[in-house]
Amino acid sequence: MANTLALKLAHVTLASKPPEGGEIGRDSTEQPNGILREGAQSMVTAVIPAPSDEKRRQAIEAALKDIASWGVTSVQDYSYESDSAGQWKNFKVFEQLEREGKLTARISEWLPFDDAIDLLNQHREAHPQSDPMLHTGMLKGFMDGSLGSHTAAMLRPYADDPKNTGLPQYEQAKLNEMAEERAVAGFQLGFHAIGDKGVQMALEAFDEAEKAARSAKVKAPDGTENYRLRVEHAQVTNPAEVARFRELKIIASMQPCHLLTDMRWAESRLGAARAEHSYAWAEFLNHGVPLAFGTDYPVEPVNPLRGIYAGVARKSEDGKQEYYPVQKLTIDQAISAYTTGSAYAEFSEKQKGALSTGMLADFIVLDRDITAIPPEKILGTQVLRTVVGGKTVYEAK
């Protein structure tokens, strides 16, 4: 959302046309009303002054402090900004903190799928991939928008907006071509896809990318041809797509905490038939699809315990609303998705994600055993200590 001054500075007027994959909200007189959806956001973000180096570091240190206090020892980060130079500035801060011994979480930094391959190679080669504290990871692309803004790409119109099927961000042929090129260059791919049309686009591109990579004899980081391609969010799917996930060995990288926000209106957006297969964590697991959980911070609070509660309860935080309980997980399944599942999704399951001999000493101490209490008690859990590489990075006072 942008105010009048922001629209003026960005030259967003009655005559403005949105970029492809974007939409300019308008009032009854067709004047821009300040709501910019998906690709149209860049019209205003392009004129927002970048933070100073000092402010950037302060912000990152504040985020790392927050992360440690909630027991998070590893993050897969996408610090996107509107220009390529800005995208890399955050990584430079991470490098500086690591040199100073002040990096308190392990970071796998995602790179923009849309960037040129030469630039992607430059960024990948700028820091050792073998560094367990900091390295670049997958390429992130966006198939669509979000359910809340009616911009997630749907195979059928929204139940509460029957003329709208969302905003796909690519033409399929171009997407396939880009995915093939980047897979052959040895990059892991992860696509934001929330609507079932967005998921379909991602799966089709992944199929072509995997064929191209195998034909070129490209090996994944573990030396196999399992490239661990990922759909980020996968909030609305159907049984045929779930079967396709399994066939292609695609990871469902999901954020159960989103349901706590979305359950108030998700069914009205989707209708009951589609809602039954939304946020389908159990359905994915029951079909043998790898499941990795995260929090989508700062869209949602970083607290993984809130996500674990959502995974096992599928109820609002006050316990008054429930959402398709058939998709509930067990407590062990929810914990596994946040630990071993997420480590697997970044090719790190041999170094972290479990407490066992030879693994990295990343662990947390809680004030209660969350495997032995009712789901609603999980929300009150306190983190007492967070340890990364054997070093305490947070301790409750």
Alpha-carbon span 194 to 266, nearest angstrom: 12
Question: What is the DSSP pairing of strand 383-388 with strand 363-366?
Answer: antiparallel
Largest pairwise CA distance in the chain: 67
Q: Which CATH superfamily is domain 135-359+366-382 in?
A: Metal-dependent hydrolases (3.20.20.140)
pLDDT of residue 79: 84
Alpha-carbon span 243 to 284, nearest angstrom: 9
Helix (H) or strand (E) holding 253: strand 251-254
Q: Which of 270, 190, 268, 172 is nearest to 227 (CA)?
A: 190
| Amino acid found at 66 | D
pLDDT of residue 83: 52
98 within 8 A of 91, measured Cβ to Cβ: no
Say what the alpha-carbon torsion angle 104, 109, 187, 83 is, to the nearest 10 degrees. Answer: -160
In the chain, where are the structural domains located? Answer: 4-45, 135-359+366-382
Say what the alpha-carbon torsion angle 105, 103, 84, 108 is, to the nearest 10 degrees. Answer: -30
| Amino acid found at 90 | N
Q: Which of 179, 225, 185 is nearest to 202 (CA)?
A: 179
pLDDT of residue 51: 87
Q: Which of 85, 101, 81 is nearest to 41 (CA)?
A: 81
Token pair listed for 35:
């709501």
pTM of the model: 0.93
Per-residue model confidence as pLDDT tens digits over 118-156: 999 999 999 999 999 999 999 999 999 999 999 999 999
67 within 8 A of 313, measured Cβ to Cβ: no
| Amino acid found at 31 | Q
pLDDT of residue 21: 85
With a cut of 70, list the residues of the chain below it in pLDDT. 80-87
323 within 8 A of 57, measured Cβ to Cβ: no
Alpha-carbon span 294 to 77, nearest angstrom: 11
pLDDT of residue 15: 93
pLDDT of residue 31: 93
